[in-house]
Structure 1
């Protein structure tokens, strides 16, 4: 297995772990979604401060980079907020596989921006993803569209943020791959933390929430680092297929961490089957 594919799969695992950590933080506290989002950004800023200082990150920056950081993080913040809402509305084991709705969302965005209609196999893959998402939403017996709608909004935010992040990364092409990604992530999340810090007072959140959100922040920082390295080294196809495995990982993690499984083993098997099928549909899309 190549390095790029390995880090992409590991990144998908940590991304799934992040959704589980978010849900457990929600369940263990009375914090609001906005408070958790803000606290996570501050927590991540503390986490990446060490590599930023070690790399003397400030020497690579220019005043005009501020605009790029806003373009990256405004849609990212919206996406994170709606993922938190989706998890609160449903469950991490449902939201993880549903994030493959990013593919149909990006397809519609591409058509709207005049990039032409998708091919027949891409249309088939899109239809399969939508059908599987529908089946997952109906698992409880009644259709619940809200988690899916929240994930779609999050997908748009992530897509816009990814595009801006890719453009910003070209500023550091003279650095080695791992140095470049570490610098990019450190600068980005320190900016997020500085901008978000006043929000703790505005939302009347206790300072302890930053510590309580530490696992959400740590898993996300690791996931993003690995996924960015994987995307650069292995290309679009393998990176996207590997990232879609977060659905399978999310369900398996939820099963392992659950002290008492309220859902039946048949229900867990159904979720795993749906997630694997969604991963296959993503692979079909990029063929």
Structure 2
């Protein structure tokens, strides 16, 4: 029989726990997800193991929460391939011209629709979450409005999905993607190969790196960017406002997500201080997706 350890807490706490999972024991397989769409800040972290978890396994999961661990419950599971089962439960989603599915589901055959295959085990950035789907819609809107970026950066890229979608819209641009978690960098490379996305530094290709925010030589070297994408959390979005503004080309665009509608005014105010104004917005449930544009200087 297999078992799992589960902890329910805030989305921010779960994301921070996953950030701390670098070098994680592969005998415990981690998965995270939103518990209820009506409560978007409540998330669950699961750690699957082959045998009954003991003190060591509980301590390992608790350590991911850095001394603030919520209640951790153990549950015995019937025999099953839980990775495959979880993927079967992740239904494909359609957002704009994009269709996101797991390996267990076929690509869309609808004309004019681009399909991306992303494993469901990669909890963040699969398109299942409202912010990711909203970003896909906004990218489609940008293209329809005549935006043609030459240099694009996706900060906190997760699976690489948003950069892949942008490349489908603007195949001649250069794409620079980064994430603070080295496991995400590996996921980007795997997903690029899975979806036929070329890797490299030339136009039309994607280069991936591990970096905190904009703190990487290549990110600085490839600036200024015509389009910056960041689907993370409100607090780091606010902190990154001056760095994003400094790395943005005149009349450049910033796509922000991962913030609740109640946090939108604070985020917009932070970017307004650096010359970026709201151009368009989408609200999906409790979440805001913002398209900001820089004023022309010259």
Task: Tell me which interval the TM-score lies in, with the shorter structure as reference length.
Answer: under 0.3
Q: Which has the higher helix share?
A: 1
TM-score normalised over the length of structure 1:
0.24
- Structure with the bigger RCO (C-alpha within 8 Å, sep 6+) is 1
Provide TM-score, normalisation by structure 2.
0.23
